[in-house]
Amino acid sequence: MRSIRRRLLVLLLGLFIFGWLAALAGTWHTTALQLSRTFDADLIDFARVLLGVLDTRDEDSAQNARELISAINQRAPREIEPPAYRVWLHGHELVAAPDTPELPLPDGDGFALVQADGEVWHTFSVNDEDSGLLLQVIEPDSVRRQLVFELASSALAPLALALPLLGLLIWLGIGRGLQPLHALARQVAQRSPERLEALPTRNVPEEVGGLVTELNQLLARLQGALLAERRLTADAAHEIRTPLAGLKTHVQVARRSPDPEVHGRALAQVERSVDRITGLMEQILLLARLDASTAEAGFERIELHRLATEIVAELAPRALEQQLDIALEGHAAWVQGNRHGLQLLIGNLVRNAIRYTPAGGSIEVRVEQHGDSVRLCVADNGPGIPPDEREHVFERFYRGRDVQAPGNGLGLAIVARIAELHGARLSIDDGLGGVGTRVCVELAVAPAR
């Protein structure tokens, strides 16, 4: 696992060293430029001193120059090396400092860079055409580079000494700054699976606040899912208990009676109880899968009227068996959704209408677009749902007071969960002709391609 503390240390030290080196490079450049100007000024001053003591009409002027330079050399500090020089008179060498390199005669006045004997030399030349005097003051470039290097080294030395201390201080500072994260980790580690209450947000740093908020939202979702699972398990156990008890009773009746006809009736009841339990378990498993689903899972553009046509065509034979008139109205409308989920939604609404509408009744499925929404409605003229029960019919395992038709109370709960995953709005009111039930699902129109 990668350490944030170590990464921050490397990053901060790297940025510090980079910034310091950038400043050093700028300082190096500025210092080298200033030193170059200073050395150039020294060359000019030295040339002026020589010109002041040289007199082309005085034969002793060369000796005077030597004596003057010797005196300067003796009084100068040992670490300072005076420039070399060479003087020509009418093309003939008049005087030169000891160990002065043999350089070509200068072409004119001023500064120049000359390379000779594997060294670069800075020169300053003065050519007096009236007197025939040519003066060249010479200084090696290594002197300047050495001085710049010494200045840079003196600036780098404190950093080399302070870098370990700086790293330690940064390490301790980062550790202190990360204490809220360590505290948060300890709080989460101490939680048991049953403790899903929100983490405290008091005195939480701003940078960690977003993480704590997201964790609290996750804990709230987990708590809701856990409660729903427990409620579903409890309700499922309650609902399964009845058909299991009936199943056991029919088996006992069959075992006690020698009559084959009683055996046949008991086995038929057993088969119906098994079918009921199987249907109930399928609905429970479907609802559990929907609870684990996330919004926009496998969403695509779907033409809802065409999808409703397929569902109505599939269920029409069952409606005709019960002598029901089923019709599909409306027009094409596109939505963004999960195809399988919307098939379940429409199928459950139509099956409910078929199950609860008496023979001779009517069922209408309508799909229409109104502005930026698509409305799917399934209406019938059956017994309807009392107004005081309508807010409960989407609850799991809820069945109305006067319901006689078989069922397990999960059909509309599945519809509600699918609608929730699609961000749809559900509503219930009176059905066809002011009687029966109308369930409507309002979805957003799919964006154009």
Asked if residue 145 and residue 217 are part of one domain, the reply reads no
Which of 290, 316, 345 corresponds to the end of one domain?
290
Q: State the Cα–Cα distance between residues 146 and 315, nearest whole angstrom.
A: 97
pLDDT at 226: 76
Asked if residue 395 and residue 299 are part of one domain, the reply reads yes
Asked if residue 158 and residue 42 are part of one domain, the reply reads yes
Residue 179 domain-assigned (yes or no) = no
257: containing domain: 208-290
pLDDT at 362: 94
Q: State the Cα–Cα distance between residues 375 and 396, nearest whole angstrom.
A: 24
Q: State the Cα–Cα distance between residues 209 and 240, nearest whole angstrom.
A: 46
Is residue 447 helix, strand or coil? Answer: coil
Residue 102 domain-assigned (yes or no) = yes
**What's 369's domain CATH number?**
3.30.565.10
Asked if residue 150 and residue 98 are part of one domain, the reply reads yes
End-to-end CA distance of the chain: 44
pLDDT at 65: 55
Q: Which two tokens stand for residue 71?
A: 């005196």
Sequence-ordered list of residues with C-beta below 8 angstroms from that of 100, at least 6 positions apart, any chain: 84, 85, 86, 138
Asked if residue 145 and residue 107 are part of one domain, the reply reads yes
For 129-158, what is the mean pLDDT? 81
Asked if residue 429 and residue 328 are part of one domain, the reply reads yes
Is residue 313 helix, strand or coil? Answer: helix
pLDDT score of 224 more than 70: yes
> Helices in 54-189 by DSSP H: which ranges?
61-75, 141-177, 179-189
3-state percent helix, strand, coil for the chain, nearest multiple of 5 = 55, 20, 25
Residue 190 domain-assigned (yes or no) = no
Q: Which two tokens stand for residue 138?
A: 């010479």
Cα 335 vs. chain centroid, distance in angstroms?
30
Asked if residue 304 and residue 267 are part of one domain, the reply reads no
Q: State the Cα–Cα distance between residues 364 and 126, nearest whole angstrom.
A: 113
Asked if residue 319 and residue 276 are part of one domain, the reply reads no
Spatial contact of 122 and 141, defined as CB atoms under 8 Å apart: yes
pLDDT band at 340 (very low <50, low <70, confident <90, very high): confident
Q: What is the mean pLDDT of the chain?
A: 79
Q: State the Cα–Cα distance between residues 151 and 155, nearest whole angstrom.
A: 6
Which of 231, 263, 290 corresponds to the end of one domain?
290
Tens of pLDDT, residues 379-430? 999 888 888 888 877 777 666 656 555 555 677 888 888 888 888 899 999 9
When mean pLDDT is compared over 14-18, 222-226, 284-288, 324-328, the highest value belongs to 324-328
**What's 22's domain CATH number?**
3.30.450.20
Tens of pLDDT, residues 38-61? 888 888 888 887 777 665 545 555
Residue type, 263: H
For 219-225, what is the mean pLDDT? 77
What are the CA-CA distances from residue 345 to residues 93, 292, 326, 377, 412 (Å)?
112, 17, 17, 11, 9
For 179-183, what is the mean pLDDT? 76
Residue 449 domain-assigned (yes or no) = no
Which of 162, 177, 200 corresponds to the end of one domain?
162
Tens of pLDDT, residues 411-421? 788 888 888 88
Asked if residue 325 and residue 286 are part of one domain, the reply reads no
| Lowest-confidence region among 119-123, 243-247, 279-283 | 279-283
Residue 196 domain-assigned (yes or no) = no
Indicate the number of domains in the chain. Answer: 3
Asked if residue 274 and residue 344 are part of one domain, the reply reads no
CA dihedral 162, 165, 168, 170 (to 10 degrees): -50
Q: H or E segment at 32? A: helix 4-53
Asked if residue 225 and residue 93 are part of one domain, the reply reads no
pLDDT at 391: 81
Token pair 């450049």: residue: 29
